Amino acid sequence: LNMSNIFEKIGGEAAVDAVVECFYGKNTTDPRVKQFFGSIDLPKLKNHQRRFITQVTGGAKLYSGRTMKAAHNHLRLTNAHFNAIADNLQSAMEELKVAPEHIKEIMAVVETTRGDIVNTPDEQ
């Protein structure tokens, strides 16, 4: 995937900021995943997320945080949790009128992180 122009096409830093705010608004109120955000340093997490999205969409290489695996290892995350978070990100981008083709490309990158984030089998 060539993400080099997506950052500018979606509106640059202002758009990433808006998506991150909307995304965490959804995550912190979503009964499927809100338990993961209750006692977390949300401003710090949002900052990491902004840097990560900026980098994966072709903006500046700002993200210097832990690997996805290390950052999520202490959480018991299932495929259902991953899907809920991914739904919230896609929904945030749709609400903010990010073009469907850009959403599709960004979500394809998100999907590549599933193996590093999901670490617990889904409950039967």
pTM: 0.90
Higher pLDDT, 54 or 61: 54
- Grade residue 112 by pLDDT with cuts at 50, 70 and 90: very high
> Mean pLDDT of all residues in the chain?
90
User: Residue 78 corresponds to which tokens in the numbers above?
Assistant: 């299932």
Cα–Cα distance, 124 to 118 (Å, whole number): 16
Mean pLDDT (whole number) for 30-49: 93
Instruction: Check pLDDT > 70 for residue 30.
Output: yes
